[in-house]
Chains A and B, each alone.
Chain A
Amino acid sequence: MASEQEVRVILSQLQQSEAEARAYEQQMEIVSFTISEIENAVVAVEALSKPDIGKETLIPIGANSFVYGTIPQTNRVIIGLGANVSAEVDVTDAVSYLTERKKKLTEMQGQFAARLNQIGSQIYSLQSKLQTVQSQLKATPDV
């Protein structure tokens, strides 16, 4: 028999699932942003290492403004390893490190998407359960 208590339980489960879904969506946005940053970094590292690229560059200072700068070394790159530590590596190592990181993040993105999908189904089934219980409640005359 449907009861107010049952409605409260379903609503609370629904809120939990929705909060979980929002958290996963946020995580996925961060991961997507990081992947696109990595892709940009790979493009930059590869382009700078080509001999026909000049060493004179424009350095962004914000607000779409730049100052002139030169890159004395284009064959060495400083990459962040995490925990506030960075290391100098050659272009090949930098590209392979970044590619590996992108691969891990892409896997993570897939896992998040799968989980989000599951939560979506949970939300859908909870919503239909809620509708059923609510219509049963409406149909039941007050005792």
Chain B
Amino acid sequence: MSAELPPQIQNQVAQLQQLQQQAQALAVQRSQLELALNEAKQTLAELDKLDEKAVIFKTVGTILVRSNKDQVNGELTEKKETYEVRLKSLERQEERVQTRFQQLQQQLQKALGGGTAPQGA
């Protein structure tokens, strides 16, 4: 079918597919980041319930290394902040891809004379 389309349209369809793949990859990354962020938040909440002198361990590779509440709290808070910044940046990227997808979709629909272009990025 694509052989019947003018090269410019074919190019736009390819771009649209690329944007769709990009959007899917970004959505997967966002969901992984959200999971990590939630885990960090929950762990911080659990740490908060423990005594200041509680014996804390960090997993390093396959072994557990002794640490302390303050240190782990600090490291985890830093991690949480990093996740939040990365999440915001990913969300902005997703918005840009979404906008570009919609623009391209409209252009294609116009070019194809109001026909239906591929759905959803």
Contacts and interface: CB of A to CB of B under 8 A. Distances in A.
Interface of A: 78, 80-89, 97
A138 to B, nearest CB: 24
12 contacts: A78-B64, A81-B42, A81-B46, A82-B40, A82-B43, A82-B46, A84-B59, A85-B76, A86-B64, A88-B55, A89-B50, A89-B54
B55 A87 contact: yes
B40 A83 contact: yes
A97 B56 CA distance: 16
Interface string B85-121: 0000000000000000000000000000000000000
B76 A87 contact: no
Interface residues of B, number: 18
Which of A78, A81, A83, A84 has the most C-beta atoms of chain B within 10 angstroms of its own C-beta? Answer: A83
Main secondary structure of the interface of B (DSSP, over half): helix
Contacts, number: 48
B54 A88 contact: yes
B70 interface: no
Contacts of B57: 78, 85-88
Interface of B: 36, 39-40, 42-43, 46-47, 50, 54-59, 64, 72, 76, 79
A84 B47 contact: no
Contacts of A97: 46
A84 B65 CA distance: 10
B72 to A, nearest CB: 5
A82 B64 contact: no
Contacts of B39: 82-83
A41 B95 CA distance: 44
B115 to A, nearest CB: 11
A78 B66 CA distance: 11
B58 to A, nearest CB: 6
Contacts of B64: 78, 86
